[in-house]
Structure 1
Amino acid sequence: MGTCGSKQKRPEDKSKNGVGLGSADDVDPSDRFSDLAAGKRRPSQHLTQNLVDGEFNRHVSEVYDLRQGKILGTGVSGVVRLVRHRDTGEQFAMKVLSLTAIEDDAQLEELKNEVAIMGELDHPNIMRLYECFSNEEHLWLIMENCQGGELLDRLNGLPEHHYDEKTAATLVKKIVSAVRYLHLHDVVHRDLKLENFLFESEDMESEIKLIDFGFSRHYHKGEEHMNLPVGTPFYVAPEVIGGDYTEECDMWSIGVIAYMLVSGRPPFMAAEENAILAKVQRGAYEFPRHVFDSVSDHAIDFIQRLLIVDPDKRMTAEQAQDHPWLHDWDEPPAPIKVEVVENLKKFSQLSAFHKLAHEVIAFSLQPQQIGDLRDEFHKFDTEGLGEITIQEMREVLEASAHLPSETCDAIFESLNMDHTGKIHWVEFLAATLRRSHMDDAHMRAAFDRMDRDHDGFISEADVRDLVGIDMTADEIHAMFNGIHVATPGKIALPEFLDYLRSEFKDGNDLGCIRSTSKRRLILTHGHSSNSLRSSDCDSGDESLPPAPVPQARGAVAYESCATLKPLTSPE
């Protein structure tokens, strides 16, 4: 990724990240991420604001086997490699960042902001951050294991270096859904590009994931416009170069991506970065006949409505989702699977603690374990928001399962425990995952995550730290009173395992994990250590062959903004 303009210009990014991480000036230099664990913030915030917080008293090698992990990518800020969870045996991607390479407090705040934003997000097409660890020299981020490569490389590997329109529209539809979700949650990505979308696997039908939130920030409509020129020259919006912009800068970038997917070439081409940026500011691009002869009018119209210099006239994410091009190949949705319907009807039988534990387990699952449940989620998410509303659930269940509206509403409300009026991606998984994921390994891993202070028990204080203001102290106390334990208010591992296993005893085999919890539980979990050697972070060096489509300078999958080289703005 790159920075358009002076790297010294940071005024709009210093205090508006909306996460409350504190100033870098207040951070102990011996552990510059220790303030992420500041428990003083947890009681007054929602769980979604506490996601990056956690204790920092273990190092990454205690939880993950780092030996002989395949290197997935390298960049100026670190390396991404495969690691294996010691309890479950599952593989994750671990991004290793050098904290010693951070030059100033502003860069440290940018990195903290990246971690915090990633921890808040819960969408099928956005990379999930699971855990973070740190010591004096390094930060380790544990993320989803996506080994299908970048969208840019997939595009360049095609025979004619572009997609057919149906496939391109399908990809853009997912991209727009992810970006609309970001904007609804007051997050602007600011560096959308082909390199920042990864495929989960090498399968041609693999899901894509948006990554790299190094330039992202919270932005609320109506507040002072952003002014820091950041992004990548081929994709950056004209108003970003001018230093006065809103979330609409992301929509320009989607227009560039759509252009490239159907043509195999960028709309703004020049030999020098200054010349590229000058063309972007003028909106000077064309649809060469020999390239776009076979491209539909709908596709061209979609691109034109995004590549508009005036951001006020550009399509919003919501408007883009309604554009005909993204629906030219729509098919009638298949009915909801009977198994899913039955488990949504039965999930309310579970206790509050079961629901909490199931959500922790559901969060930790890898993409390949989710399987067809993603398709089931999309059947409910008819608006493409990455979340399910009560109206969507009612309409889908009434049409597909012929359930009365009262039953549909009851199912929804039993999930909607935080009263947000929406069911999130991980919550849907917690309510529908199959029983096979309730094995000892996953339950032990869930216990480890819920035992916040790692004293061998899950206490009321642990749960209170986990859920913030989403549950009252009385609700937590009542939840613990419903569990038979040797020590009141504390659950040991054997008791935890027995309690969760009881779900499937006495004929109560519901066939899947069910949850009514509406809390996005333990989405990230932090640890720290000063004992990990720098040799544990040694990176290899892998290079990619030249690509027909120009690769953005500085583009590396998972790359952080911590050590970026600025680009020069046009004269």
Structure 2
Amino acid sequence: MGPKPNTKEEKDDTQKQPRTEMEESATTFEGEKKKSRSRDKPDPVMITDALTDVRTKYHINPREIGHGHYGVVRKCMDRQTREWFAIKSIRKSKVGKVDVLKREIDILKEVDHPHIIKLVEVHEDVKYLHLVTELCTGGELFDRIIAKTQSSEGHFSEHDAATIVRCILDAIAYCHDVKQIVHRDLKPENFLFKTEKEDAEIKIIDFGLSRHDTLNFGVMKTKVGTPYYVAPEVLKREYTKSCDIWSIGVITYILLCGYPPFYGDSDNQIFESVKTGRFDFPSPDWDSISDDAKDFICCMLRKEPSKRLRAAEALKHKWIKDQSDEEDTISRERSKVQHSSNRSVTFKKFMGMQKLKKAALGYIATHLTNSEVGVLGDIFHKIDESHTGVISLQDLDNALAHGKLVPFVFEGVCQRLFLCIICTILFGERERSYQITQNVFGIFHPCSLQETFHQNYC
């Protein structure tokens, strides 16, 4: 699906910028300051077959609209057509496995579906790989779930949930049956809405863990995925494309109640819950949800992979077909229940930590080199003498008192606390990193991380 023309707001935003700023914006990447340039050597790795200057065709707005493990996302405008796109700039020195990145690019070039992000062009220069894609401004499904759990409804209506799931199934049926592609990491963070409208198109945006299932009779053995959404057979390292069906079943469950079917206070507890394959529909949260919706989820979350519905079969399920025909307004009204169970609270903490971790990783991708990230890990383990997987304030005080920290890394208390947070998030245990982060954020100032914390925890 091709990109849509820029809106009036986007046009006005462009017109306000001086010509000189437009011409220079592509070179003003945050974190690429002079001291960084002198420190980093040009990366010789080639991912495409040629080096090109993305600025020749596109004006790049310097303001970030997203970030991930390896780089940042900004808006860019085609200088001739004045259409707006998104550009993901990946710092090549951050990429550990070039072949995995190449595979993702090849898959994005291969697919063409209205519910999969459209890759427009790829440009590569000495330091960065730039992926130009269609622009989606409606935010993540992740964010809409959070918003719903905090609303009077507490979750999506059956109609809205079925509409989203149908779009996801349509894209996955295309991947599985037409392209023989397995996604392997379907989760709310990997879906974007085209616009902010309630009925906006939803797009799969991340194929970083995807692969073709044409080898070994479609059986895969690499343990990949995210705790709440991973299928039990993936944990056993022998699985097929039906692992995607399981993940969609989990997403459906969350859309309808605001929390996941498999839960725990740590990753290991979640994995153990997933391995059992046992889940329920607790009262009163599920009392107003239709039997058809529950049956659909049960068909998607069958522990035996071969007994699960295929994506094409799931599209024909009664719940999907009936809810897609017309909105059930009675169901929508009856479903306005605020869920405050322990499961929901635990899941909100997890979702909040994922948001905080993304913000931290975005900072690291922009500001730190691989060697500096390695230093963070070394410092973390030196401070964490008891090997608990978490840095306490007492640990930090002891480290400062005994000179265990490299002087040039720390130039102030806030930076020390920032390092503590980053180290704990990256190298510590998830549930404990929440505790340490909560303790120190009262005197921590970098606004993007602080805002993320307060929005998702406070």
TM-score by length of 2: 0.62
Q: Report the CA distance shift for 1:221/1:157 in structure 2 as closer, same or farther (over 3 A).
A: same
- Write the distance in 2 (CA, Å) between the matches of 1:197 and 1:204: 15
Q: Secondary structure at the match of 2:292?
A: helix
- CA offsets 1:176-218 (integer angstroms, 9 cap, x no match): 0000000011000000011111000111111100110000001
- Write the distance in 2 (CA, Å) between the matches of 1:264 and 1:270: 15
Question: Which residue in 2 is equivalent to 1:179?
Answer: 172
Question: Which residue in 2 is equivalent to 1:75?
Answer: 68
The AA in structure 2 aligned to 1:73 is G
Does the alignment pair 1:93 with 2:93?
Answer: no
Pairing partner for 2:266 from 257, 269, 272:
272
How far did residue 71 of structure 1 move? 1.6
Equivalent pair of 2:219/2:238 in contact (CA under 8 Å):
yes
How far did residue 567 of structure 1 move? 11
Q: Secondary structure at the match of 1:243?
A: coil
Question: Which residue in 2 is equivalent to 1:317?
Answer: 311
Does the alignment pair 1:120 with 2:110?
Answer: yes
Q: Report the CA distance shift for 1:264/1:211 in structure 2 as closer, same or farther (over 3 A).
A: same
How far did residue 96 of structure 1 move? 1.0
Equivalent pair of 1:266/1:549 in contact (CA under 8 Å):
no
Pairing partner for 1:32 from 26, 46, 71:
46
Pairing partner for 1:191 from 182, 185, 193:
185
Equivalent pair of 2:231/2:243 in contact (CA under 8 Å):
yes
Does the alignment pair 1:165 with 2:179?
Answer: no
The AA in structure 1 aligned to 2:98 is L
Equivalent pair of 2:70/2:95 in contact (CA under 8 Å):
no
The AA in structure 1 aligned to 2:318 is P
How far did residue 322 of structure 1 move? 1.1
- Write the distance in 1 (CA, Å) between the matches of 2:93 and 2:215: 36
Equivalent pair of 2:62/2:74 in contact (CA under 8 Å):
yes
1:446-465 paired onto structure 2 within 5 Å:
none
Q: For structure 2, which runs of at least 5 residues remain unmatched after alignment? A: 1-41, 327-345, 374-425, 430-458
How far did residue 284 of structure 1 move? 2.7
Equivalent pair of 1:265/1:549 in contact (CA under 8 Å):
no
- Write the distance in 1 (CA, Å) between the matches of 2:242 and 2:298: 14
- Write the distance in 2 (CA, Å) between the matches of 1:304 and 1:549: 26
Question: Which residue in 2 is equivalent to 1:252?
Answer: 246
How far did residue 75 of structure 1 move? 2.3
Question: Which residue in 2 is equivalent to 1:497?
Answer: none
Q: Report the CA distance shift for 1:29/1:156 in structure 2 as closer, same or farther (over 3 A).
A: closer
Q: Secondary structure at the match of 1:229?
A: coil
Pairing partner for 2:205 from 183, 187, 211:
211
Question: Which residue in 1 is equivalent to 2:393?
Answer: none
How far did residue 286 of structure 1 move? 1.7
Does the alignment pair 1:149 with 2:163?
Answer: no
Q: Report the CA distance shift for 1:57/1:109 in structure 2 as closer, same or farther (over 3 A).
A: closer
Equivalent pair of 2:51/2:126 in contact (CA under 8 Å):
no
- Write the distance in 1 (CA, Å) between the matches of 2:52 and 2:44: 15
Q: For structure 1, which runs of at least 5 residues remain unmatched after alignment? A: 1-27, 38-55, 333-545
- CA offsets 1:460-479 (integer angstroms, 9 cap, x no match): xxxxxxxxxxxxxxxxxxxx
Structure with bigger RCO (C-alpha 8 Å, 6+ apart):
1
- Write the distance in 1 (CA, Å) between the matches of 2:354 and 2:211: 22
How far did residue 556 of structure 1 move? 5.2
Q: Secondary structure at the match of 2:131?
A: strand
How far did residue 136 of structure 1 move? 2.8
Question: Which residue in 1 is equivalent to 2:434?
Answer: none
Equivalent pair of 1:264/1:549 in contact (CA under 8 Å):
no
Q: Secondary structure at the match of 2:348?
A: coil
Question: Which residue in 2 is equivalent to 1:130?
Answer: 120
How far did residue 132 of structure 1 move? 0.8
Q: Report the CA distance shift for 1:326/1:59 in structure 2 as closer, same or farther (over 3 A).
A: same
How far did residue 30 of structure 1 move? 2.4
1:136-535 paired onto structure 2 within 5 Å:
136-158=126-148, 159=151, 160-184=153-177, 185-220=179-214, 223=217, 225-331=219-325
Q: Secondary structure at the match of 2:220?
A: coil
Q: Secondary structure at the match of 1:203?
A: coil
- CA offsets 1:298-325 (integer angstroms, 9 cap, x no match): 0000001111111011111121111100
Question: Which residue in 2 is equivalent to 1:111?
Answer: 101
Q: Report the CA distance shift for 1:29/1:81 in structure 2 as closer, same or farther (over 3 A).
A: closer
Q: Report the CA distance shift for 1:224/1:84 in structure 2 as closer, same or farther (over 3 A).
A: closer
The AA in structure 1 aligned to 2:69 is V
Question: Which residue in 2 is equivalent to 1:548?
Answer: 348
- Write the distance in 2 (CA, Å) between the matches of 1:319 and 1:169: 15
Equivalent pair of 2:180/2:214 in contact (CA under 8 Å):
yes
Equivalent pair of 2:246/2:300 in contact (CA under 8 Å):
yes
Equivalent pair of 1:232/1:553 in contact (CA under 8 Å):
no
Q: Secondary structure at the match of 2:172?
A: helix
Q: Secondary structure at the match of 1:126?
A: coil
- Write the distance in 2 (CA, Å) between the matches of 1:271 and 1:134: 42
Question: Which residue in 2 is equivalent to 1:508?
Answer: none
The AA in structure 1 aligned to 2:83 is E
Q: Report the CA distance shift for 1:303/1:268 in structure 2 as closer, same or farther (over 3 A).
A: same
- Write the distance in 2 (CA, Å) between the matches of 1:220 and 1:200: 31
Q: Report the CA distance shift for 1:217/1:71 in structure 2 as closer, same or farther (over 3 A).
A: same
Q: Secondary structure at the match of 1:305?
A: helix
- Write the distance in 2 (CA, Å) between the matches of 1:291 and 1:233: 23
- Write the distance in 1 (CA, Å) between the matches of 2:347 and 2:78: 35
- Write the distance in 2 (CA, Å) between the matches of 1:283 and 1:548: 22
The AA in structure 2 aligned to 1:78 is G
- Write the distance in 1 (CA, Å) between the matches of 2:218 and 2:189: 30
- Write the distance in 2 (CA, Å) between the matches of 1:258 and 1:135: 41
Q: Report the CA distance shift for 1:259/1:224 in structure 2 as closer, same or farther (over 3 A).
A: closer
Q: Which segment is superposed worse, 186-195 or 130-139?
A: 130-139
Q: Report the CA distance shift for 1:255/1:331 in structure 2 as closer, same or farther (over 3 A).
A: closer
- Write the distance in 2 (CA, Å) between the matches of 1:196 and 1:99: 22
Q: Report the CA distance shift for 1:152/1:311 in structure 2 as closer, same or farther (over 3 A).
A: same
- Write the distance in 2 (CA, Å) between the matches of 1:567 and 1:76: 17
Q: Report the CA distance shift for 1:547/1:72 in structure 2 as closer, same or farther (over 3 A).
A: farther
- Write the distance in 1 (CA, Å) between the matches of 2:154 and 2:214: 38
- Write the distance in 2 (CA, Å) between the matches of 1:566 and 1:223: 36
Q: Report the CA distance shift for 1:219/1:567 in structure 2 as closer, same or farther (over 3 A).
A: farther
- CA offsets 1:412-455 (integer angstroms, 9 cap, x no match): xxxxxxxxxxxxxxxxxxxxxxxxxxxxxxxxxxxxxxxxxxxx
How many residue pairs match? The answer is 302
- CA offsets 1:150-189 (integer angstroms, 9 cap, x no match): 0121122121331100111111111100000000110000
Equivalent pair of 1:153/1:547 in contact (CA under 8 Å):
no
- CA offsets 1:51-72 (integer angstroms, 9 cap, x no match): xxxxx34211111112x44321
